Amino acid sequence: MLRHVIAPSSGWTKASHAVVRDRRMNSDAKILLLYVQGLPESATGRPLGELARKLEMKGRAYQQAKKQLIEHGYVHEWRGQGDGGRWVTEQLFTNTPLTRDEARAVRARLSPEAAGPTRAERLASPPPSAQSPTVGEPTPPSAGGYVPEEEHVDKNTPHPPSEPEPEPEPDPEAGHRPTPAQEAGAEATPPPPPTSPQLTRAERVLLSLRHTRRELLLGVGEARALAVEAAKWLERGLTESELRHALLAEPPKGGVHSAYGFLGHRLTHKCPVAPAPVAPPEPPPPPVRALITCTSEAEEDHVFRPLGDETECADCRRATAYASWMVDTDTYDFPPDMTWRQRFVAVAKADALRGEPA
């Protein structure tokens, strides 16, 4: 390694090798030590934390550096209560490590008015001696010259206290109405334990949240009151683990101030949508029947696929019905949608019904 070093002619601070090469302190502690060492006397009235902020040393870094400087004897603090009752912290900074006794001696030399005992030392001193008791007989306390009157317990008063009115007997038909004290006691009583399995599972999930996040601690009554809303989540298809994850996810940045209010709001406003009702499955189509031969008296044999127990095809059944109508009305008018085959079969059947030869 090549080195090029020029000693500064001004604006420099002497640094001991014991400080620069000390492996027990980190770089922040060393930089803070050298920075405060090189300050003028006019800047020594400021606290160490304010001087560290000028080096952009804040938070955890400053606390760690200050802790190391105190442990190795470079910084000493005394905290005491002044005459006005305000607490004051006095700091002593040195570029050489000092023990507590050595630092106290330096403090007494630099600030003689602060060399007296601290409040803790004054409290540790023995208490003052006991004083002699006051001479004389004890007297009753007086309140502004008021002399207490004698109590008249056994004397009769012109207005004796009225007797308490007897309570009316409750009407058995109207039912018993509880007193305000009984109503208050009923409100303080937690709700009865859940009976349905969904409520039991929901209450178990709510009471288990405190094991993951201590701020979600619920009482038994609070858990049973919230189990009604939590059971709706389970009824809509969610498992217990999914419900627990939904309640623990995305905690508020400012923390939870009320576990009951936080969980009640989340259970109400983030409840999943109920699944749409499943349509019933369509019935299976009827089985396909085999082809059978039509039993009507037609010129040609033909087959058809029956839908029920019929033995004739639809055309032949229509022709048979129309043949009966032709015999009853003695007419040969056919509808326009009737095919020639249907007309021929209808005429043949009508002749057969009249007894005429085909």
How confident is the model over 213-226, as a mean pLDDT? 88
pLDDT at position 74 over 80: yes
Query: Residue 46 above 70 pLDDT?
Result: yes
Q: Where are the beta strands (DSSP E) in the chain?
A: 75-81, 87-93, 292-293, 303-304
Would you say residue 148 has pLDDT above 60? no
Give the pLDDT band (50/70/90) at residue 186. Answer: very low
Place of tokens 């058809």: 304
Helix (H, G, I), strand (E, B) or coil at 146: strand
Torsions phi, psi for 89 (to 5 deg): -110, 120
- pLDDT(183) > 50: no
Q: Hey, how many other C-beta atoms are within 10 angstroms of the C-beta on 346?
A: 24
Residue 277: what residue type?
P
- Count CB atoms within 10 A of the CB of residue 313: 20
Q: What is the DSSP letter of 89?
A: E
Separation between Cα atoms, residue 103 and residue 75, nearest integer Å: 9
